[in-house]
Amino acid sequence: MALRDVCEAIVAKREVTPADVLALRREVFGEIAVTQAEVEALFVVDEGTERQSREWREFFIEALTDWLVRQQEPLGYVTDAQADWLIARVKADGRLRDGTEVEIVVRVLELADAAPASLAAFGLSLVTRAVVENDGIVTADEVARLRRLVFAPSGPGRLAVSREEAEALFALNDATRGAANDPSWTDFFMRAVANAVTASAGWVAPDRQEALRRERWLADLDDGIGQGMIDRFGQMPSGLNFGNVPYLSRVIAWGLKQPRAEDVFPDRLAETTRATATSAPVDQAEARWLIDRIGRDGQFDDNERALIAFLKEIAPTTDAALRPLIEQLDA
């Protein structure tokens, strides 16, 4: 009730001041956990005010990301339902608030361990829309935001660029052809698309059920690392009483069971070497995708020429199907 009263008073005057943010912060974080009802109320404030302080934007983004990323088990996993809710909520009033709503999507993808691919695709669509509404020009700020999106740890490419993301970048390039775009757009475009066809997939978080299983194992004194300590020492070491220092005991016990670094490193190095060897060349499927995508509108722009030149430099062992296109754009 108190939060609703505060929000209604703010909307009535159409402005969020630093003092208002302090009052909202007390209500929302007063009991630590952020609830869906609270973030719904904050969306009403964001949509119902015309003048917003910098403190409001910071608080709004903090509260939303806290609920989406840190309030569900396992921590760091955004569920399909949460992603659908956020997408629907941002779309609800038909307006694009670049300072808050776009940033929320980007920040969630950066902070989460795993999130539905639909959320990353929605984030790219928001940035594209912001470009269109900004006279069709890709600014340096938008390039920075695109970089954060496509390389977000929870995005579909997991620190690499996915085919879907590369398609979105091509579409944005087509839409802004001939515009006075920031020079950083060309560099980002060619490197991001090249990454999509030459880089191996990035780290992939375990699925949500597996993450839950690991958390429960960690907390289980009978089957988890508590039992591992007993198995290792025959009894619980003195001074490491689980009732007194549960977290420290678990961490120490877990560490004692891990293999030595010198035993792990050769396998990790061999795995990295294999991934690099198989991912660097542009294979036939990737070459055919590039040929179809670059020539789709019958025109070749400077960004596409830069992409082909860059691929020629970093991946000389490309599939033969790409050679005619390279020669054509080199001419």
pLDDT per residue as tens digits for the range 36-76: 999 999 999 999 999 999 999 999 999 999 999 988 778 89
Cα separation, 13 vs 79, whole angstroms: 35
Greater model confidence, 258 or 168: 168
Q: Which two tokens stand for residue 42?
A: 């904050």
pLDDT tens digits, one per residue of 267-277: 555 655 565 55
Judged by DSSP in three states, 52 sits in strand
Query: Mean pLDDT highest for which of 220-224, 260-264, 325-329?
Result: 325-329
What Å distances lie between residue 216 and 81, 119, 231, 249, CA to CA? 23, 28, 19, 16
The token pair that represents 80 in the structure block:
């399909």
Q: Could you read off the pLDDT of 196-206 as tens digits, one per residue? A: 988 754 445 56
Burial of 276 (0-12, 13-18, 19+ CB in 10 A): exposed
Residue range 75-101: average pLDDT?
Answer: 89
**pLDDT at position 90 over 90:** yes
305 token code pair: 């020429």
Token pair belonging to 65: 């990301």
Report CA-CA distances (Å) from 251 to 73, 242, 264: 20, 11, 20
Question: 225-233 vs 246-257: helix axis angle to the nearest 10?
Answer: 60
Q: In sequence order, what DSSP letters do the residues of 74-92 get, joined into one string?
A: STTB--HHHHHHHHHHHHT
Give dist(CA 271, CA 233) in Å, integer: 33
Give one DSSP letter per residue of 161-184, joined into a string: --HHHHHHHHHHHHHTTTS---HH
Query: In this structure, how many other beta carbons lie within 10 angstroms of the beta carbon of residue 49?
Result: 20
* For residue 74, cis peptide bond before it (omega within 30 degrees of 0): yes
Q: Which pLDDT value is given to residue 320?
A: 86
Q: Quote the tokens at residue 233.
A: 């020492």
- A 10 A CB-CB count for 252 gives 14
pLDDT at 280 over 90: no
Share of the chain above pLDDT 70, in %: 74
Residue 135 reports pLDDT greater than 50: yes
pLDDT band at 298 (very low <50, low <70, confident <90, very high): confident
Compute φ and ψ for 16, nearest 5 degrees.
Answer: -115, 115
**Is the CB of residue 63 less than 8 Å from the CB of residue 34?**
yes
With 0-12 CB in 10 A as exposed, 13-18 as middle and 19+ as buried, what is 320? exposed
